[in-house]
Amino acid sequence: MEFLTAIFKLIISIIFDVADFFVGRIPVFGTLFDIFGGILAVYLWGGLGSIQFLEIIDITDQLDGFIPSVTIAGIAAIMFNRE
């Protein structure tokens, strides 16, 4: 059951990062989307999810969409068994 939970969380992470690639590139809205993504990532992956908050640094909202931060946090959490 724990494995299925991790897979479900990873699927949510991938969906968010794909949405971030498209929707998160809209100036100003993208920053709000990044804040929501950080909260989601911390909820899903704990402390490792906080790397998503680094995307707030890009105030243009153009470059950070190419980095799937929530998915990276999820893969790291699964690899290090810290979910």
Q: What is the DSSP letter of 57?
A: G
Radius of gyration of the chain from Cα atoms? 12
Paired tokens of 23: 């929707």
* Angstrom distance (rounded) from CA 63 to CA 22: 12
| Cα 31–chain centre separation | 13
Q: pLDDT tens for residues 28-73?
A: 899 999 999 999 999 999 999 999 999 999 888 888 888 999 999 9
Domain coordinates in residue numbering, the chain: 2-79
Question: Does pLDDT of 17 surpass 90?
Answer: yes
- pLDDT confidence band for 27 (50 / 70 / 90): confident
Q: What is the DSSP letter of 59?
A: T
